[in-house]
């Protein structure tokens, strides 16, 4: 066993060193190379759309519509945005220079980091791995990809697509149990950046591993993302949008509404509209609907079933272990001491908390601070401003759900417990880049103010111009 473990470490070291050599050859730095590779990746995805959708169906029972819109089309948008803006992003930026340094000019050069490790989650196993890969490619890096072992069909397909279409010294995939593979890879080779999407506990372990080698990280984590509905909201529209955003991918979304915080006087009316929306979307028996995904595995089913042991079920609650099915569920009368209000749910269960006065909203959110996302349904502009300006959260939407993460122009990431750093569009490019500052002074004039002897007039000059 020791020999096998040693061989594994040696293999990871070779993988990293081969990429480092390729990177240091400057092969990935040029605009033409980056553009070519991004176009190739888009073509690979286009040519294999059916296979990607089939793999996601096998792993998560995802409807084809959800697979295309959330796992494939978002990647097309990311690639197109990078191709459109890459030359501008790469161009050195001239910045102003204090006059005391005349005749000096200053520029900021954006350069790739080197060899990066990108670790993907199981809930959107294709998109949430490949989106940061696109950013890393656009920034001129080499990358090692680690797909989730929880979604084996998608992981295998990703491995095949990368291996068959890209130079292994540029991009490659490692598979296996994350708890074994990632520490072995990080111990064997010092990556220049680690990008991780997943749970807070695992993110903490990644951070600890990276800290030992001073490896910078981007951590896209989670948290309990609140959805707030006040009495001014259009309850029918709000109910439909919340039901869609909650039960999309069977609630297995890092930015899914994790609990409903609703003004008490409209709770009954909202619940009625919510039930109507679920029936409209999935029929009287959601289990028979082709449009509702399933829970990823037995381990997650066990965790979700524990959440249903408390409170009062207002809708749903039906379970079928054999098909990994949990019905869209509304859960009332829960306590903040209950497990369902302590952990991120990651399933089709929506607990309800009520409030009477707007001042209570911040107090409730503070019980689970720094959510990755927040959603507010209201026509009250004062409440909107209060939430945006006074509550700390990663990002969100007003009168909608999930959609903020689909805009490449909006940086996506958490704060505090919900993550470190952000990506999408230019933000992703910058996450995998280093900004190198350069000043350049011409020879025709040599400013002697900085040289000894330090006369009194020099101090006066510096005070005036520096």
Cα gap 224→368, rounded to integer Å: 6
**CA dist., res. 159 & res. 76, Å (int):** 19
Distance CA 73, CA 69 (A): 5
Structure tokens at 407: 């805009």
Q: What is the CA radius of gyration of the chain?
A: 25
Joined together, the tokens standing for residue 321 give 């272990």
- Residues 118 and 217: their CA atoms lie apart, in Å, by 10
Report d(CA 64, CA 244) in Å as an integer. Answer: 16
Residues contacting 391, CB < 8 A, separation 6+: 361, 362, 365, 374
Burial class (CB in 10 A: 0-12, 13-18, 19+), 79: buried
- Which residues carry out catalysis? 220, 254
Contact by Cβ (8 Å): 327, 318? yes
Q: Measure CA 274 to chain center.
A: 28
């Amino acid at each position: 066993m020791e020999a096998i473990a040693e061989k594994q470490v040696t293999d990871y070291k070779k993988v990293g060193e081969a990429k480092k050599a390729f990177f240091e050859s400057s092969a990935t730095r040029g605009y033409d190379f980056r553009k070519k590779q991004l176009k190739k990746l888009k073509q690979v995805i286009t040519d294999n759309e059916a296979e990607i959708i089939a793999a996601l169906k096998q792993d998560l029972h995802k409807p084809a519509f959800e697979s295309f819109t959330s796992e494939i089309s978002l990647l097309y948008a990311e690639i197109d945005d990078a191709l459109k803006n890459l030359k501008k992003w790469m161009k050195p930026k001239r910045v102003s220079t204090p006059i005391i340094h005349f005749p000096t000019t200053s520029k900021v050069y954006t350069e790739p980091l080197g060899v990066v490790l990108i670790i993907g989650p199981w809930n959107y196993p294709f998109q949430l791995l490949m989106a940061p890969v696109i950013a890393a490619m656009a920034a001129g890096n080499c990358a090692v990809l680690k797909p989730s072992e929880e979604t084996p069909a998608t992981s295998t397909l990703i491995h095949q697509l990368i291996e068959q279409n890209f130079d292994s010294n540029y991009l490659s995939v490692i598979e296996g149990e994350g708890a074994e593979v990632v520490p072995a890879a990080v111990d064997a080779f010092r990556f220049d950046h680690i990008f991780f999407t997943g749970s807070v506990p695992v993110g903490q372990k990644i951070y600890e591993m990276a800290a030992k080698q001073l490896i910078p990280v981007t951590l896209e984590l989670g948290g309990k993302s609140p959805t707030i509905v006040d009495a001014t909201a259009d309850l029918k529209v709000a109910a439909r949008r919340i039901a869609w955003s909650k039960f999309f991918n069977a609630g297995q979304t890092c930015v899914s509404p994790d609990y409903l915080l609703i003004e008490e006087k409209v709770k009954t009316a909202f619940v009625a509209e919510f039930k109507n929306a679920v029936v409209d979307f999935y029929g009287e028996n959601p289990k028979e609907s082709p449009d509702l995904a399933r829970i990823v595995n037995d381990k997650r089913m066990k965790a979700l079933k524990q959440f249903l042991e408390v409170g009062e079920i207002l809708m749903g609650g039906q379970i079928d272990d054999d098909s990994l099915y949990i019905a869209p569920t509304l859960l009332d009368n829960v306590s903040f001491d209950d497990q369902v209000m302590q952990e991120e749910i990651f399933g089709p269960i929506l607990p309800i908390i009520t409030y009477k006065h707007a001042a209570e909203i911040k107090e409730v959110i503070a019980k689970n601070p720094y959510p990755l996302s927040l959603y507010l349904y209201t026509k009250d502009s004062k409440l909107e401003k209060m939430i945006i300006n006074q509550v700390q959260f990663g990002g969100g939407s007003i009168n909608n759900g999930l959609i903020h993460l689909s805009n490449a122009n909006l940086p996506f990431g958490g704060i505090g417990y919900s993550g470190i750093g952000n990506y999408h569009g230019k933000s992703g490019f910058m996450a995998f880049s280093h900004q190198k500052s350069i000043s350049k002074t011409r020879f025709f004039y040599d400013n002697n103010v900085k040289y000894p002897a330090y006369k009194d007039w020099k101090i006066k000059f510096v005070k005036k111009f520096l």
